[in-house]
């Protein structure tokens, strides 16, 4: 496991973006696993800059997103502030600024009629694409990866997952409150890639910044591997693992 510690969020974001850009340049048709959340935003902005100013070419890149809330999907009738789907986030913050082909973008469908069938299909699509070359990951405050909440099996596959109270509280504050949606009516379930699925990626690139993540980062990277902190499964990843942190998030690492 390579742990790269940068002085601040901006430096962390640039380091992560350059790892992805190097992969795209060496393998233009690579498969990227992508994450939502505030953590990767700076990385997406730097990749957009590289596309616009340096011609970084996404035309053959395939993407698979990690998760989506259940019961919602991108709603073009709503403003970005009202529509809190992960699909909308990706579109606004990344996809619409680069030259990815629509056909190469894969997002879990929170509106799928037969959600279990969809989950199986999503897994098959990843395999058909040749597997995920590089999986971008953040970490939730309770140590979750994607929406694999505490107690999720470390060999879990893509499925529907009930959100933990802490995740509901965090996401209410960061997303739904602004959209005028109450805590009771916001989504309490999500579709998520499983930990087993994530562990099959060839390269895991995990990012974390800020004091809010200090304790959980130390537990995930250096504590016991446990389904109570699903990101601790990073220690079991058999491929390449890179963790990029800012100083605050790295503060409790031994």
167 binds ligand GLP (CB under 6 A): yes
Question: Which member of 149, 171, 237, 246 is catalytic?
Answer: 149
Q: Applying CB under 6 A, does 36 fall inside the site for ligand GLP?
A: yes
Contacts with ligand GLP, 144-163, as mask; x by CB under 6 A = --xx----------------
Window 72 to 101, contacts with ligand GLP (CB under 6 A):
none
Q: How far is the CB of 35 from ligand GLP (least distance, A)?
A: 5
> Active site includes 149?
yes
CB of 230 to ligand GLP, least distance (A): 11
| Residue 48 φ/ψ, nearest 5 degrees | -65, -45
Q: Answer yes or no whether residue 140 interacts with ligand GLP by CB under 6 A.
A: yes
Torsion of CA 98, 102, 108, 110, to 10 degrees: 100
Q: How far, in Å, CA of 138 to CA of 162, rounded?
A: 19
Question: Does 67 interact with ligand GLP (rule: CB under 6 A)?
Answer: yes
Active site residue 97: no
Nearer to ligand GLP, 29 or 211 (CB): 211
Give the range of 92-100, 118-126, 136-144, 149-157 binding ligand GLP by CB under 6 A.
136-144
Considering 142, 170, 188, 228, which one is annotated as catalytic? 142
Q: Which of 38, 101, 162, 222 binds ligand GLP (CB under 6 A)?
A: 38
User: 55 by DSSP, 3-state: which?
Assistant: coil
Calculate Rg over the CA atoms of the chain: 17
Task: Answer whether 196's CB lies under 8 Å from 227's CB.
Answer: no
CA distances, 227 to each of 46, 162, 249 (Å): 33, 15, 21
Size, binding site for ligand GLP by CB under 6 A: 13
**Distance, CA of 203 to CA of 27 (rounded, Å):** 14
By beta-carbon proximity to ligand GLP, the closer residue of 39 and 85 is 39
- Cα–Cα distance for residue pair 95/139, rounded to 1 Å: 22
Q: What is the DSSP string of 84-132?
A: --HHHHHHHHTGGGS---GGGEE---TT-SSHHHHHHHHHHHHHHTT--
142 is catalytic: yes
Which residues carry out catalysis? 67, 142, 144, 149
Provide the binding-site residues for ligand GLP, judged by CB under 6 A. Answer: 35-39, 66-67, 138-140, 146-147, 167
């Amino acid at each position: 496991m390579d742990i790269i510690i940068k002085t601040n969020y901006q430096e962390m974001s640039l380091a992560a973006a350059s790892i992805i850009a190097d992969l795209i340049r060496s393998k233009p048709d690579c498969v990227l696993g992508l994450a939502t959340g505030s953590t990767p935003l700076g990385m997406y902005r730097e990749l957009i800059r590289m596309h616009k100013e340096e011609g970084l070419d996404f035309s053959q890149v395939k993407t698979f997103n990690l998760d989506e809330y259940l019961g919602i999907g991108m709603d073009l009738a709503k403003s970005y502030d009202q529509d809190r789907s992960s699909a909308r986030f990706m579109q606004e913050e990344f996809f619409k600024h680069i030259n990815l082909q629509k056909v190469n973008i894969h997002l879990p469908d929170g509106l799928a009629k037969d959600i279990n069938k969809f989950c199986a299909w999503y897994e098959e699509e990843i395999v058909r694409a040749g597997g995920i070359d590089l999986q971008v990951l953040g970490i939730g405050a309770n140590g979750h990866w994607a929406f694999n909440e505490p107690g999720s099996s470390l060999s879990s596959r893509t499925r529907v997952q009930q959100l933990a109270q802490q995740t509901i509280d965090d996401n209410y504050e960061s997303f739904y409150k602004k959209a005028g949606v109450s805590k009771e009516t916001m989504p309490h379930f999500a579709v998520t890639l499983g930990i087993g699925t994530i562990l099959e990626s060839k390269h895991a690139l995990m990012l974390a910044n800020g004091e809010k993540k200090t304790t959980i980062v130390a537990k995930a990277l250096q504590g016991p591997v446990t389904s109570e902190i699903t990101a601790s499964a990073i220690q079991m990843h058999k491929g390449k693992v890179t963790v990029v942190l800012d100083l605050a998030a790295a503060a409790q690492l031994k």
